[in-house]
Amino acid sequence: MLSFLGQLQGRVKPRAPGHVRVDSRVSSLHHRATSVLLLTCCVLVCVRQYFGQPIHCVLDVTGDLAAIQEQVLNTYCFVTTTYTVVHDLNPEHYPNVGVGPSWWRGRELPVKRHAYYQWVPLVLFLQSLLFAMPHAAWKYWEGGLVRASLADLTEQRVTLYLDRAKRRDLLRRLARYFSARLHSHRFWATGFLFCDTLNLVNVMANVYLTDCLLGGSFSSYGGEVSQ
């Protein structure tokens, strides 16, 4: 895992001198910071899930389950999904709110199943890819146009700082290029706006899909916590 995290460090290191930025800072946060963060969380969850204890179920050690090993019960809960009882419980009688028997006085109580545990690593990995895709699409669309336009300024930056006349000449040539191509790069501009819009659509889609995965608990979580 340490070697994998070391590889991720290469994506968040400072840009080299002369680097040409072809996207906005918001887009950079999407495809670098957010994507790397989600991928790191995916690795941590995978390590916990496959080499640690992915779930901890309440074990009734005094009842019929006393002979069942805790690891066996946790594996069963993880595979078959766990649940919480949907009603107010007295915390003095139960370990926590929502934790208790699903049967009470001869009737089955309503429960809420939580079947997303097994899918968390896969979902985090897919989210990481989704946040990186708009930038990949923009890089393909842009095709190195900005880098080619600024090649003289970036490749000769040391000389330019020493030779102001040469620097002014290159800037004039670059200004004439932009002036002559003022209305000829609409396809390029359309691609930039389209890929930036994809970032917004991606965020909204991730919020919606995460809420669906968690059974509607994600959208209301912030309001419930603040109450």
> Do 183 and 194 form a contact (C-beta atoms < 8 A)?
no
- Of 186, 178, 169, the closest CA to residue 149 belongs to 178
CA distance 146 to 20: 7
DSSP string covering 177-204: HHHHTTTS-HHHHHHHHHHHHHHHHHHH
So what's the pLDDT on residue 173? Answer: 74
pLDDT mean by block of 10 residues, the chain; 227 residues: 52 53 78 89 85 72 62 77 67 60 68 79 92 87 67 53 68 73 74 88 91 79 69
pLDDT of residue 72: 78
User: Residue 107's beta-bridge partner residues?
Assistant: 104
Half-sphere exposure of 3 (CA within 13 A, CB side): 0
What confidence score (pLDDT) does residue 15 get?
Answer: 55
Among candidate residues 225, 205, 215, the one with its CA nearest the CA of residue 83? 215
pLDDT of residue 158: 46
pLDDT for 203: 92
